[in-house]
């Protein structure tokens, strides 16, 4: 049974924060691999400043630089946009894998707006990785108000494949204060200038 972390994101562009949380998640959750799901279009984000999918996928592949991090645009191939549909399809296609959803803390305040979010949390556990400034809002969020009764202690994080669902674990990790928003603000040439690293 392979243990896989799923990191869904816009990756507009990918950066060191994505790599850092993936490596920490691999260690703390004893993952075999982390799959970066480069989203064709986040259903809740505007498409206006979204770089084309091939540019974001290329950025993710350049940034991953790790034999156990795999970046793909599998949602484009599956034709899924909502996380619940992507996860259902992956669970169906990979019965030999166990999946856990990985997310930075900034995801929690908006999680209750995701399509069938409670059903998503009934399908797979979620690990929330600390992000500077976001933890307060994350812990006060409507999704956390619902999910906190199933919160697991981080000392037990490696046991996640055996957890009954829903299950949520918050992992305190060293924060990397980098964001795609800050990179775009600094680098108006993204994604035209494809040869640099962030
Ligand atoms: N520095 C970081 N620390 C922790 N988690 C992060 C960090 N950067 C991104 N993430 C997480 O990675 C996932 C994908 O993030 P995304 O591609 O939207 O990057 P972003 O930097 O948050 O982008 P933007 O600033 O455009 O919203 C999300 O779960 C997000 O919370
Ligand atoms: O399923 C949903 O309704 C849903 C709503 C908003 C965001 N998501 C997913 O959340 C992930 C993080 O998105 P982002 O843009 O914040 O990096 C990415 O995989 C999105 O497809 C999913």
Which protein residue's CA is at the shortest distance from atom 14 of ligand 1? 9
Sheet holding 33-38, edge to edge: 69-72, 33-38, 2-9, 97-104, 126-129, 168-171, 151-152
* Predicted model pTM: 0.97
ipTM for the whole predicted complex goes beyond 0.90: yes
Q: Which atom of ligand 1 is nearest to the CA of 130?
A: 4
82 lines ligand 2 (CB under 6 A): yes
| Per-residue pLDDT tens digits for 6-54 | 999 999 999 999 999 999 999 999 999 999 999 999 989 888 889 999 9
- Cα 124 from Cα 55, distance rounded (Å): 29
H/E element, 98:
strand 97-104
Which protein residue's CA is at the shortest distance from atom 7 of ligand 2? 42
Asked if residue 63 has pLDDT above 50, the reply is yes
CATH classification of the domain holding 73:
3.40.50.620
| Per-residue pLDDT tens digits for 178-196 | 999 999 999 888 988 654 4
Q: Can you give the residue range of the structural domain that contains 173?
A: 2-197
Instruction: Give pLDDT, residue 196.
Output: 46
- Cα 76 from Cα 15, distance rounded (Å): 21
Instruction: Give pLDDT, residue 193.
Output: 62
Ligand nearest to the CA of 130: 1
- Cα 159 from Cα 175, distance rounded (Å): 24
Ligand nearest to the CA of 76: 2
Give 86 or 48, the one with higher predicted confidence: 86
Q: Which atom of ligand 1 is nearest to the CA of 179?
A: 21
Identify the CA nearest to 125 among candidates 170, 80, 95: 170
Based on the structure, what is the number of domains in the chain? Answer: 1
* 18 CA → ligand 1 middle, Å: 7
Instruction: Give pLDDT, residue 72.
Output: 97
Identify the CA nearest to 143 among candidates 105, 94, 184: 105
SS3 97: strand
């Amino acid at each position: 049974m392979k243990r896989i972390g799923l990191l869904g994101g816009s990756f507009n562009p990918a950066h060191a924060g994505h790599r850092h949380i993936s490596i920490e998640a691999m260690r703390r959750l004893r993952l075999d691999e982390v799959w970066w799901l480069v989203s064709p279009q986040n259903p809740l984000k505007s498409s206006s400043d979204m770089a084309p999918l091939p540019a974001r996928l290329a950025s993710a592949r350049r940034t991953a630089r790790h034999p156990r991090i795999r970046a793909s645009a599998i949602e484009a191939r599956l034709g899924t946009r909502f996380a619940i549909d992507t996860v259902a399809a992956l669970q169906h296609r990979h019965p030999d894998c166990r999946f856990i959803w990985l997310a930075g803390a900034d995801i929690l305040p908006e999680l209750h707006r995701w399509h069938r979010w409670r059903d998503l949390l009934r399908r797979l556990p979620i690990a929330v990785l600390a992000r500077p400034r976001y933890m307060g809002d994350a812990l006060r969020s409507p999704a956390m108000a619902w999910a906190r009764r199933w919160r697991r202690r981080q000392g037990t994080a490696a046991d996640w494949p055996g957890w009954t669902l829903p299950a949520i674990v918050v992992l305190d990790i060293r924060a990397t204060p980098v964001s795609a928003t800050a990179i775009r603000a600094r680098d108006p040439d993204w994604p035209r200038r494809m040869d640099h690293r962030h």
